[in-house]
Amino acid sequence: MAHPLQPVLLSGGSGTRLWPLSREAYPKQFLPLAGDDTMVQETWLRVAPLSARAPIVVANEEHRFLVAEQLRQIGAPALAIVLEPVGRNTAPAIAAAALQAMAGGEDPLLLVLPSDHVVRDAAGFRRAVQEASAAAQAGALVTFGVVPSAPETGFGYIQSTTTQGLGKVQRFVEKPDAATAQGYLAAGGYYWNSGMFLFRASRYLEELERHRADIVAAVRKAFEAARRDGDFVRLDREAFAACPSDSIDYAVMEKTGDAMVLPVDIGWSDVGSWSALWDVAERDADGNAHHGDVIAIDSRNSYAYAQRLVALVGVDDMVVVETDDAVLVARKDRVQEVKQVVARLKDGQRSQAVLHRKVYRPWGAYDSIDMGERFQVKRITVKPGAALSLQMHHHRAEHWIVVSGTAKVIRGEETLLLSENQSTYIPLGVTHRLENPGKVPLELIEVQSGSYLGEDDIVRFEDVYGRSG
């Protein structure tokens, strides 16, 4: 019996090493880092020719609308998005995907892919999946090992029983030092651990049950008590939070006797740092890689990401990343330490660790364009047909000026219809809602004034997106 192929996209990462572009509320898988499409979009487009099935996506609950919208934009079929209320690493995430895949009575082959990796040779990737399918159909748990191009110390390695083709996994090894990595390359049969897998859903659950029955029990409980809301499968918070956190490598692949590895040479990168992004980017004759409006004079082997004009003069081996509210300047060989910046921001409870200046919401987005001691100015975009929650603020009043489109405003007992250049005022403590009844995006300027302007000063009474507080 042939088992159909079911793509599974893992989208739970926070990408802190690519700060300030990647942030907790909008991590790297939702950014167009290596092409015109975002990384989660590229992951789906890479696998779509192999299967007519919609992907199962495992995502952070906070990212649910980002995932749904980005995959809808590229025409992905109606999908199931399994929502994790808390992160518990890859072993539980894949178990939840396996349960979802088997919910209709089937036992498909799960092709498990991180949604934030670069694969330059998409056709080669698809050939590798087809090559590994027979072993996975027969019950093997296959992982794809990347043929190393350098003695990389930033990846774990997999040792195969053979130096050619599909082989049994002999062992997994942790990130090595430089001399050990050099030895792996000289010996052959060692491959970078890519985090990509192919196996039958039932076989994964069997092996996880054998080695970590506690994880299976917790995930089953969370899945059986899940709330289903359109495309979303919301795992039960209490049950999933009680699940042990572990990776598929530790929980299953290092313990099972049925692990196999297929070497692949497909232009793979986990884009785990700014230097890794420089590695996979197109570079000019001086070795510089640029994104945006960048001028480089007498500079070499540098990476610059610009949202405004950035000029490099006489610098080598640098990374410069400029966003609306933060600038990173680092030596290319020190970019792994960016996560220390994020840790310090979190310690200081600074918003730049989590949010960009422009914040995406299920109804659209807002951009904080100016603020002072008792005021804040936002540019708000509402999608056609979308509505904000019916809400109230204890500490601020709001002025709304329509720039383009049509706004339907509920203000206390009143309902107003505003068009371009018209405005309204929402006094402190008055319930209100903003809707876009039109067919084009609604753009407006919001001026807030009051003693406290934090996003947590919202009391929601009704919300079509299932948010509270």
User: pLDDT tens digits, residue range 308-356?
Assistant: 999 999 999 999 999 999 999 999 999 989 999 999 999 999 989 988 8
The pair of structure tokens assigned to 229 is 């809301």
Is 60 exceeded by the pLDDT of residue 469? no
Final residue in a domain of this structure, among 223, 251, 268: 268
Q: Of 382, 375, 359, 372, which Cα lies nearest the Cα of 434?
A: 382
User: For position 1, what pLDDT does the model report?
Assistant: 62
The pair of structure tokens assigned to 320 is 């410069």
pLDDT band at 402 (very low <50, low <70, confident <90, very high): very high
Which of 232-246, 414-428, 443-457 is least confident?
Answer: 443-457
The pair of structure tokens assigned to 281 is 């980017």
Q: Is residue 116 part of a domain?
A: yes
Contacts of 138 (CB under 8 A, 6+ apart): none
pLDDT band at 298 (very low <50, low <70, confident <90, very high): very high
Q: Return the CATH number at 458.
A: 2.60.120.10
Q: Is residue 467 part of a domain?
A: no
Tens of pLDDT, residues 98-153: 999 999 899 999 999 999 999 999 999 999 999 999 999 999 999 999 998 888 88
For residues 82 and 142, membership in a common domain is answered with: yes
Name the residue with higher pLDDT: 178 or 300. Answer: 300
Distance between CA atoms of residues 30 and 39, nearest Å? 6
For residues 194 and 278, membership in a common domain is answered with: no
For residues 324 and 443, membership in a common domain is answered with: no
For residues 319 and 392, membership in a common domain is answered with: no
Q: Is residue 468 part of a domain?
A: no
Q: Is residue 469 part of a domain?
A: no
Name the residue with higher pLDDT: 245 or 361. Answer: 245
Mean pLDDT score across all residues of the chain: 92
Mean pLDDT of the 63-67 span: 88
pLDDT band at 185 (very low <50, low <70, confident <90, very high): confident
Tens of pLDDT, residues 25-48: 889 999 998 888 999 999 999 999
Q: Is residue 10 part of a domain?
A: yes
Q: Is residue 16 part of a domain?
A: yes
Domain count, the chain: 3
For residues 411 and 306, membership in a common domain is answered with: no
Q: Which residues pair with 81 in a beta bridge?
A: 57, 232
For residues 400 and 261, membership in a common domain is answered with: no
Q: How many DSSP H helices and E strands does the chain contain?
A: 11, 30
Is 90 exceeded by the pLDDT of residue 212? yes
Final residue in a domain of this structure, among 240, 268, 296: 268
For residues 63 and 190, membership in a common domain is answered with: yes
pTM equals 0.85
Angle value at C-alpha 116, between 100 and 365, nearest 5 degrees: 90
For residues 295 and 397, membership in a common domain is answered with: no
Mean pLDDT of the 243-250 span: 93
User: For position 49, what pLDDT does the model report?
Assistant: 95
Full residue range of the structural domain in which residue 309 is found:
274-341
Distance between CA atoms of residues 384 and 429, nearest Å? 27
For residues 297 and 424, membership in a common domain is answered with: no
Q: Return the CATH number at 225.
A: 3.90.550.10
For residues 280 and 408, membership in a common domain is answered with: no
Name the residue with higher pLDDT: 100 or 62. Answer: 100
